[in-house]
């Protein structure tokens, strides 16, 4: 039986982090090697902007041949990757690093290759380490026909999560000293 990811009704509305970009600006990438939003081979190359309210985020995903599941149609797992990234980008407007603990997706329409998918995502509530996020994916334009919806629970983590579990050479490339990585991996 999965644990509920319904946001608590009485949680205060999330506030934009003071250092987060403002309305209309591109969001800050969370990691340049990301296969959701990074400029690297195999990436969906999702691009995201801050909404007018300064809190929500909208994102663009151009669906190409390499994203197919069925002939000429977007793979469902690729749509989930796009939602994971779009929803994960929404929380960066509010708070520091967190990882996906649960992601639920409803697939409402097939998405043909060549479509541009647009997403609206927002943080619904934050309670302690738990961040409740939801989003909608639209065919062709923001607020167009709904292709899918998703909601997720992200859980805040510290640098030690990445230092302990990440591949050492990738962490070193980000500037983490080897002894710090080794200490984290040893559980110190």
Ligand X SMILES: CCCCCCCC/C=C\CCCCCCCC(=O)SCCNC(=O)CCNC(=O)[C@H](O)C(C)(C)COP(=O)(O)OP(=O)(O)OC[C@H]1O[C@@H](n2cnc3c(N)ncnc32)[C@H](O)[C@@H]1OP(=O)(O)O
With binding defined as CB under 6 A, does residue 176 bind ligand X?
yes
Contact with ligand X (CB under 6 A): which of 16, 64, 130, 164?
130
Q: Give the up-direction half-sphere exposure of residue 44: CA atoms within 13 A in the CB hemisphere.
A: 28
Cα diameter, the chain: 51
Could you give the CA distance from residue 183 to residue 188 in angstroms, rounded to a whole number?
5
Interface region with ligand X, contact rule CB under 6 A, candidates 43-51, 65-73, 112-120, 124-132 = 124-132
With binding defined as CB under 6 A, does residue 171 bind ligand X?
yes
The token duo for 70 is: 């069925």
Contact with ligand X (CB under 6 A): which of 129, 140, 145, 182?
129
CB 73 within 8 A of CB 110: yes
| 25-44 residues near ligand X, rule: CB under 6 A | 30-31
Residue (139 or 151) nearer to ligand X, CB? 151
CA-CA-CA-CA torsion sign (148, 58, 102, 153): negative
Sheet holding 98-107, edge to edge: 47-50, 57-62, 116-127, 130-139, 145-156, 98-107
Contact with ligand X (CB under 6 A): which of 5, 78, 94, 150?
5
| 49-108 residues near ligand X, rule: CB under 6 A | 84-85, 88, 97, 99-102
With binding defined as CB under 6 A, does residue 46 bind ligand X?
no
Binding footprint of ligand X on the chain (CB under 6 A): 2-3, 5, 30-31, 84-85, 88, 97, 99-102, 128-130, 153, 155, 157, 159, 162-163, 171, 174-176
């Amino acid at each position: 039986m999965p644990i509920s990811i319904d946001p608590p009704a009485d949680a205060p509305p999330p506030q934009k982090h003071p250092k987060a970009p403002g309305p209309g600006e591109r969001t800050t990438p969370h990691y340049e090697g990301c296969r959701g939003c990074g400029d690297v081979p195999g990436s969906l190359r999702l691009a995201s902007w801050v909404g007018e309210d300064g809190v929500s985020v909208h994102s663009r995903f151009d669906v190409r041949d390499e994203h197919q599941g069925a002939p000429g149609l977007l793979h469902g797992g690729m749509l989930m990757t796009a939602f994971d990234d779009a929803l994960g980008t929404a929380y960066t407007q509010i708070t520091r690093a967190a990882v996906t603990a649960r992601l639920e997706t409803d697939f409402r329409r097939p998405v043909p290759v060549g479509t541009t998918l647009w997403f609206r995502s927002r943080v619904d509530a934050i309670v302690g380490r738990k961040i409740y996020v939801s989003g909608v994916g639209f065919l062709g334009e923001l607020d167009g026909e709904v292709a899918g919806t998703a909601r997720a629970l992200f859980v805040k983590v510290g640098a030690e999560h990445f230092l302990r579990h990440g591949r050492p050479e990738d962490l070193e490339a980000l500037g983490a000293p080897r002894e710090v990585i080794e200490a984290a991996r040893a559980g110190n």
